[in-house]
Amino acid sequence: MKIIFIGPQGSGKGTQASLLAKKLNIPHISTGDLLRNAKGQLKQEIDSYINKGDLLPDELMLKILKQRISESDCKKGFILDGFPRNLKQVELLNSITDIDKIILIHISDKEAIKRISGRVNCEKCKANYNLLTSPKPKNPKICDKCGGRLIQRADDNEQAVKKRLSIYHKETEPILDYYEDKFLTINGEQSIDEIKEDINELI
Ligand code: AMP
């Protein structure tokens, strides 16, 4: 099964994509994580886009994604989180694979900004936390799971977040018109478990 998760920053799509991927035993491909973990000569170029909150050029993004989905663990399917982000990327995706389901997790901009400003993750094991919502770490600076240091992403500052949300409305939301009735909408302003249940019911 090939699934796309769409939603604004902070909607929890990464968390839900990861839970569903475990349930279906297929990989969760977050293009943001893929780019943040990139190594080698492209690293500097990639970081220059990410740190400003800008999107990477579509062709470059596709090249990186195409390589990832050609790996053997993607044979049974995968969950895409963060791609496609605009209509051009939908077109590029159509040229390399078919998609079975699209899940939209909806939250307001106000909620998105609140959630992102509290978002931190572990430098070492990458576990995600939120200092304002949930899951809250016991100590705001230390990972509950491995004791690593909790840090904020460089693009989770207010200026970059606002830019990323405006790109989401202008460029990503029109994708939904393209997929029309193929996408399922979930209310993202619920608890992680409630959202998970809604998704499991629909899948
Ligand atoms: P995310 O973790 O999904 O918020 O992505 C973080 C950053 O990675 C974005 O602000 C972009 O700079 C870059 N990025 C992630 N996915 C894409 C994509 N599909 N197209 C272009 N840039 C992307």
Q: What are phi and psi of 130, to 5 degrees?
A: -140, 125
Q: Is it the case that residue 107 has pLDDT exceeding 80?
A: yes
**Confidence label for 1 from pLDDT (cuts 50, 70 and 90):** very high
Superfamily of domain 2-202: P-loop containing nucleotide triphosphate hydrolases (3.40.50.300)
**Confidence label for 134 from pLDDT (cuts 50, 70 and 90):** confident
- Higher-confidence residue: 132 or 171? 171
Q: Would you mind telling me the total number of residues written for the chain in this entry?
A: 203
- The predicted pLDDT at position 143 comes to 98
- The predicted pLDDT at position 182 comes to 80
Instruction: Report domain extents, the chain.
Output: 2-202
Task: Judge whether 52 and 80 are in contact, CB under 8 Å.
Answer: no
Q: Is it the case that residue 176 has pLDDT exceeding 80?
A: yes
Residue whose CA is at the smallest distance from ligand 1 atom 19: 83
Query: Stretch 123-142: mean pLDDT, rounded?
Result: 92
**Confidence label for 155 from pLDDT (cuts 50, 70 and 90):** confident
Q: Is 124 a catalytic residue?
A: no
52 Cα to the center of ligand 1, angstroms: 11
DSSP characters for 74-125? GTT-EEEES---SHHHHHHHHTT----EEEEEE--HHHHHHHHHTEEEETTT
Six-digit token string for 131: 């200092």
**Helices (H) then strands (E): counts for the chain:** 9, 8
Q: Is 68 a catalytic residue?
A: no
pTM recorded for the entire structure: 0.87
d(CA 133, CA 147): 20
Residue whose CA is at the smallest distance from ligand 1 atom 2: 32
Q: Is it the case that residue 146 has pLDDT exceeding 80?
A: yes
Query: Stretch 13-25: mean pLDDT, rounded?
Result: 95
From 62, 64, 85, give the residue whose CB has the most ligand 1 atoms within 8 Å, as the site to mutate: 85
